[in-house]
């Protein structure tokens, strides 16, 4: 078994009770105690901390999108990615069969071990320290998930926002054009009667003008 003090340096936390770290790394394929109970605890702690962080930093995001953001951060693939960055595979304690079959590379085992490690840190310290560790490990995933969400174009975001609330999709109207056939400017208007909002803008293409109008309406809605 490798020196676990090396792993403590990698994860940024030193255990007061070293047996908790050993237990967190012990897969159910080994004889004796394993990390399944710690995994159960860590799963709940991780969910709470990630949910709290996303909730506080994603204002005007509805419940459905909050759930999608959380799922993107705590899914098996994401957890396994965190485990890889922390080099957990090098420190896993596996039964002989599991070790020979390459269990230290298996995504499910790596992800479960991250959750067990979180549970162990929580028991060894408190929620504040556990929060700090989780944020250090998961912040890149959170930023990536938020970035992907924000990359949706304005028309798509507006339509999804309206449909989720039972409203009809927006209709964009070409109110006028200016310029020669080769350098036209398109003036687009969109009216949302139920919100008493009218968005207007112009651009060198109809599609671009519609995006600008949708962006203005989103701002008016506070989305």
Catalytic residues: 43, 115
Distant-in-sequence, close-in-space partners of 122: CB < 8 Å, separation ≥ 6: 41, 42, 45, 130
Separation of alpha carbons 41 and 48, rounded Å: 11
Question: Rounded to whole angstroms, what are the CA distances from 132 to 69, 83, 128, 137, 210?
Answer: 20, 17, 6, 9, 43
Distant-in-sequence, close-in-space partners of 186: CB < 8 Å, separation ≥ 6: 174, 177, 202, 203, 204, 205, 206, 208, 209
Using an 8 Å Cβ cutoff, are 206 and 174 in contact? yes
Separation of alpha carbons 216 and 183, rounded Å: 24
Separation of alpha carbons 216 and 26, rounded Å: 54
């Amino acid at each position: 078994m490798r020196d676990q003090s090396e792993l403590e340096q990698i994860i940024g936390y030193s255990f007061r009770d070293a047996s908790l770290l050993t237990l967190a790394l012990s897969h159910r394929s080994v004889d004796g105690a394993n990390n399944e109970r710690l995994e159960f605890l860590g799963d709940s702690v991780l969910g709470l901390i990630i949910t709290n962080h996303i909730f506080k930093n994603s204002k005007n995001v509805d419940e459905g999108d909050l759930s999608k953001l959380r799922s993107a951060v705590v899914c098996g693939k994401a957890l396994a990615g965190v485990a890889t960055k922390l080099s957990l595979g090098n420190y896993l304690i596996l039964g002989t069969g599991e070790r020979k079959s390459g269990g230290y590379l298996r995504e499910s085992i790596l992800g479960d071990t991250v959750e067990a490690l979180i549970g162990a840190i929580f028991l060894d310290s408190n929620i504040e320290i556990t929060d700090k560790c989780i944020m250090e490990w998961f912040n890149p995933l959170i930023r990536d998930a938020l970035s992907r969400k924000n990359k949706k174009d304005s028309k798509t975001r507006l339509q999804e926002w309206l449909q989720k609330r039972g409203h009809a999709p927006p209709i964009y109207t070409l109110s006028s054009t200016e310029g020669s056939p080769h350098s036209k400017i398109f003036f687009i208007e969109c009216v949302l009667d139920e919100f008493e909002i009218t968005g207007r803008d112009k651009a060198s293409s109809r599609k671009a003008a519609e995006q600008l109008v949708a962006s203005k309406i989103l701002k008016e809605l506070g989305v």
